[in-house]
Structure 1
Amino acid sequence: MKELPLTLDIIDRQILRELQRDGSLSISALADKLDMTAPPCWRRVQRLRDEGILDRRIWLVDPEKLGRGTIIYVTVKLANHDRAATTAFRAAIQKLDEVLECYILLGGIDALIKIRVPNVKDYERIFYDRLSQLPAVREFESSVVLSEVKQTTEIPV
């Protein structure tokens, strides 16, 4: 993991906070929010992009409005941990559109998967048709999210 450069000052941090909240801000709107002019604001944003701190612009989609309101977390234990098995598992996960996130873990659980589906019945179909077919898996445990207490994409800066 790349550490933040020591060159991040208070203005850079303000830029990062504002753009994480609203990536559609124009440079002039961002500059206005930071009480500065557009050219130096643009240079700072460009430098943050060049350094890879600002990665890309995206729009967040409301999953409820697209009928994907049910969140399922799945823990996975693999049958074995050799390179071929874990590589096959990773490759198969990449092909599953319903999987939003997947993390390989240390400890008793080998992987944690986050899935968004319309409902539990749909998850059941995905489980039997796709998840249960994943290579090298010994065991799954699924948990349905009852309520979302906090969800953010903003990294504290």
Structure 2
Amino acid sequence: MIDKLKLDSIDWAILGQLQRDASQTVQAIGDQVGLSSNPCWRRIKRMEDAGVIAKRVALLDPHAVGLATTVFVAIRINRHDSGWLETFAAAINALDEVIECHRMAGDIDYMLKLRVRDIADYDRIYQRLIGRVAGLSDVTASFSMEEMKFTTALPRPD
């Protein structure tokens, strides 16, 4: 989508402002990037229509809502057919605690990122996952001890 829409430095400045705080008014964003409200709004609308801005959301503090534990789960599988993948995708999508799922290259087939209350909460989710999906040959969990960096802001490619 980005190849079809050329982004200039003002577009990137707008995107930076939105990634920092999407609740800002168009006027406030325009003031920060040197545009009046109408041209700023038109640029935001153009980027939304082109799919550059996928959505605007509120980011919650996981500690404040009782989900202080981050778990990374590496999964190896022994089946690689489309039927299995559909079952796996449905099982992952049914688990709200799975906030990311990636199909990987290399020794690991899938990597999950979960936000849970504690280790016992993770174990409950693990039991649900293995109960729903056959063909998991290895499931390894790693618990984050400290989140040293977190951002949802994408960098500007050079």
> Same fold, TM exceeding 0.5?
yes
> Deviation at 1:107?
1.8
Paired letter, 2:78: A
Q: Is the 8 A contact 1:86 1:136 kept in 2?
A: no
Count, aligned residues: 155
Aligned to 2:67: 68
Aligned to 2:130: 132
**1:8-46 alpha-carbon deviations (Å, 9 max, x no partner):** 111001001110110011111111111221111111111
> Deviation at 1:83?
1.4
Question: RMSD over aligned Cα, in angstroms?
Answer: 1.3
| 1:5-154 equivalent positions in 2, closer than 5 A | 5=4, 7-128=6-127, 130-133=128-131, 134-154=133-153
> Deviation at 1:91?
1.4
Q: Where in structure 1 are there 5+ consecutive unaligned residues?
A: none
Q: 1:58 to 1:8 in 2, by over 3 A?
A: same
Alignment identity in percent? 38
**1:36-73 alpha-carbon deviations (Å, 9 max, x no partner):** 21111111111111111111110000000011000010
Task: Tell me the SS of whatever aligns to 1:113.
Answer: strand
How far apart are the structure 2 equivalents of 1:142 and 1:88? Answer: 21
Task: Tell me the SS of whatever aligns to 2:64.
Answer: helix
How far apart are the structure 2 equivalents of 1:75 and 1:34? Answer: 42
Q: Where in structure 2 are there 5+ consecutive unaligned residues?
A: none
